A and B are shown apart, each in its own frame.
Chain A
Amino acid sequence: MIGDILITLALVAGVFTVVMYYLTYKGYENTKNYARIGYHFMAVMVVAASALLLYAVLTHQYQYKYVFNYSGSGLPVGLLISTFYAGQEGSFLLWLLFTTIVGLILMDYTSKRGDLEERVMMVFTFAAVGLLTMISPLLKSPFEYIWVEDNFINIKYINAQLLNSPFIQNFFFQDPGSGESFVRLGKELYAVLSTNGIAINNFLIQGKGLNPLLQNFWMQIHPPLLFVGFSMAAVPFSFAIAALIKNEYKDWVKQSLPWLLSATMLLGLAIMLGGYWAYGVLGWGGYWGWDPVENSSLVPWIIGVAAIHTMIVQKKYQDKGSEGRFVKTNLILSVLMYVTVLYSTFLTRSGILSDASVHSFVAPGQIVFLALLTFLLFFLSIGVGGVAYRWKYLTNKYNFEENLLSRELALFTGSVALIASAIIVLVGTSAPIFGTAVEIRFYNELNLPIAIIIAFLNGFSLLLKWKQSDGKNLVKDLQFSGAAAAVSTILVVLIGGVTDVMLAVFVLTTAFSLFVNLEIMFHVIKGRKSHLGAYISHAGLAVFFLGVIATGGYSQHGQVELIKGQKAEIFGHQLTFTGYVPIENGAKYAFNVEIADGESKSVAAPVMYIAEFNNSLMREPDILNGLFKDFYVAPLGYSDGKESSSDGGREVSLGKGESIDYNGFTITFESFNFPPDAMQAMMGGGEFSIGAVLSIDKDGKKIQAEPKLVKQGESQKYVSAEIPEADLKVDMKSMDAGGNVILILTSISDPASAEMNKMPKEVLTVEASIKPFINLVWAGVLIMVAGFIVSASRRTKESQS
Chain B
Amino acid sequence: MKNKYMFGGLIIVVFLGVMGWLFTQTNVAYVSNFESVINSSKAVKATGSWVKEKRYVFDSERNTFSFFMSDETGKQMKVIYKGSIPNNFESCTSVVVTGKYHNGVFQASDILTKCPSKYETQMPANSKT
- Residues of A at the B interface (CB closer than 8 Å) are 69-70, 86-88, 208, 211, 213-214, 278, 282, 284-289, 291, 354-362, 401-404, 408-409, 412-413, 416-417, 419-420, 423-424, 427-428, 431-432, 435-439, 441-442, 444-446, 450, 453, 548, 551-552, 555, 557, 559, 561, 614-619, 636-637, 639, 646, 648-650, 661, 753, 763, 765
Closest to B20 in A: A427
- A412, A446, A551, A763: the one within 8 Å of B22 (CB): A446
> Given A355-B112, A616-B90, A617-B87, do A404 and B129 touch, yes or no (CB 8 Å)?
no
> Given A401-B3, A409-B3, A765-B84, do A358 and B122 touch, yes or no (CB 8 Å)?
yes
Contact call A420/B12, Cβ cutoff below 8 A:
yes
- B11, B103, B115: the one within 8 Å of A417 (CB): B11
Alpha-carbon distance A286/B61, docked complex (angstroms): 25
- A287, A442, A619: the one within 8 Å of B87 (CB): A619
Alpha-carbon distance A650/B45, docked complex (angstroms): 29
Q: Closest Cβ of chain A: how far from B107's Cβ, in Å?
A: 11
- B28, B89, B96: the one within 8 Å of A616 (CB): B89
> Given A446-B22, A618-B87, do A213 and B120 touch, yes or no (CB 8 Å)?
yes
Listed A/B pairs (14) with beta-carbon separation below 8 Å: A278-B128, A284-B124, A357-B122, A413-B7, A416-B11, A420-B15, A437-B27, A551-B129, A552-B129, A614-B90, A614-B115, A616-B91, A637-B60, A648-B61
Contact call B62/A650, Cβ cutoff below 8 A:
yes
Alpha-carbon distance A646/B123, docked complex (angstroms): 29
| A358 cross-chain contacts in B, Cβ below 8 A | 112, 121-124
Alpha-carbon distance A208/B119, docked complex (angstroms): 11
| B61 cross-chain contacts in A, Cβ below 8 A | 646, 648-650, 753
> Given A416-B11, A420-B11, do A435 and B119 touch, yes or no (CB 8 Å)?
no
Chain B residues numbered 70-129 whose CB sits less than 8 Å from any CB in chain A: 84-85, 87-92, 96, 103, 105, 112, 114-124, 126-129
Contact call A555/B11, Cβ cutoff below 8 A:
no
Check: B47 CB closer than 8 A to any chain A CB.
Answer: yes
Q: Closest Cβ of chain A: how far from B28's Cβ, in Å?
A: 5
Contact call A437/B30, Cβ cutoff below 8 A:
yes
Chain B residues numbered 1-26 whose CB sits less than 8 Å from any CB in chain A: 2-4, 7-8, 11-12, 15-16, 18-19, 22-23, 26
| B63 cross-chain contacts in A, Cβ below 8 A | 559, 765
> Given A86-B119, A358-B123, do A412 and B30 touch, yes or no (CB 8 Å)?
no
For the complex of A and B, list the 4 residue pairs with the smallest distance between their C-beta atoms, beginning with the closest. A286-B128, A614-B91, A289-B128, A636-B84
Contact call A561/B129, Cβ cutoff below 8 A:
no
Interface of A is mostly: mixed
Contact call A211/B128, Cβ cutoff below 8 A:
no
Closest to A437 in B: B28
Contact call B8/A413, Cβ cutoff below 8 A:
yes
Check: B67 CB closer than 8 A to any chain A CB.
Answer: no
Contact call B60/A639, Cβ cutoff below 8 A:
yes
> Given A435-B30, A437-B30, A614-B88, do A450 and B118 touch, yes or no (CB 8 Å)?
no
Closest to A359 in B: B121
Q: Closest Cβ of chain B: how far from A182's Cβ, in Å?
A: 14
User: Interface size class for chain B?
Assistant: 35 or more
Interface centre among A211, A287, A552 (most CB of B within 10 A): A211
Contact call A441/B26, Cβ cutoff below 8 A:
yes
Interface centre among B16, B119, B120, B126 (most CB of A within 10 A): B119
Alpha-carbon distance A278/B30, docked complex (angstroms): 26
Q: Closest Cβ of chain A: how far from B22's Cβ, in Å?
A: 6
Contact call A437/B45, Cβ cutoff below 8 A:
yes
> Given A355-B96, A614-B115, A650-B59, do A413 and B11 touch, yes or no (CB 8 Å)?
yes
| B27 cross-chain contacts in A, Cβ below 8 A | 431, 436-439, 442
Chain B residues numbered 30-69 whose CB sits less than 8 Å from any CB in chain A: 30, 45, 47, 58-63
Q: Closest Cβ of chain B: how far from A469's Cβ, in Å?
A: 14
> Given A436-B29, A446-B15, do A416 and B7 touch, yes or no (CB 8 Å)?
yes
| A650 cross-chain contacts in B, Cβ below 8 A | 59, 61-62
| A289 cross-chain contacts in B, Cβ below 8 A | 124, 126, 128-129
Alpha-carbon distance A87/B117, docked complex (angstroms): 11
| B103 cross-chain contacts in A, Cβ below 8 A | 661
| A439 cross-chain contacts in B, Cβ below 8 A | 26-28
Alpha-carbon distance A362/B114, docked complex (angstroms): 9
Contact call A211/B28, Cβ cutoff below 8 A:
no
Q: Closest Cβ of chain A: how far from B73's Cβ, in Å?
A: 18
Closest to B98 in A: A437
> Given A355-B114, A614-B91, A614-B115, do A288 and B129 touch, yes or no (CB 8 Å)?
yes
Alpha-carbon distance A278/B2, docked complex (angstroms): 45
Alpha-carbon distance A453/B103, docked complex (angstroms): 46
Alpha-carbon distance A617/B91, docked complex (angstroms): 10
Contact call B96/A442, Cβ cutoff below 8 A:
no
Closest to A619 in B: B87
Alpha-carbon distance A436/B42, docked complex (angstroms): 13
Alpha-carbon distance A354/B113, docked complex (angstroms): 10
Contact call B19/A446, Cβ cutoff below 8 A:
yes
Interface centre among A355, A637, A648 (most CB of B within 10 A): A355
| B87 cross-chain contacts in A, Cβ below 8 A | 213, 616-619
Known contacts A288-B129, A355-B45, A637-B85; 5 further A-B pairs (Cβ under 8 A): A211-B121, A289-B124, A412-B7, A437-B30, A617-B85
Q: Closest Cβ of chain B: how far from A359's Cβ, in Å?
A: 6
Contact call B119/A637, Cβ cutoff below 8 A:
no
| A444 cross-chain contacts in B, Cβ below 8 A | 129
> Given A355-B47, A435-B30, do A617 and B90 touch, yes or no (CB 8 Å)?
yes
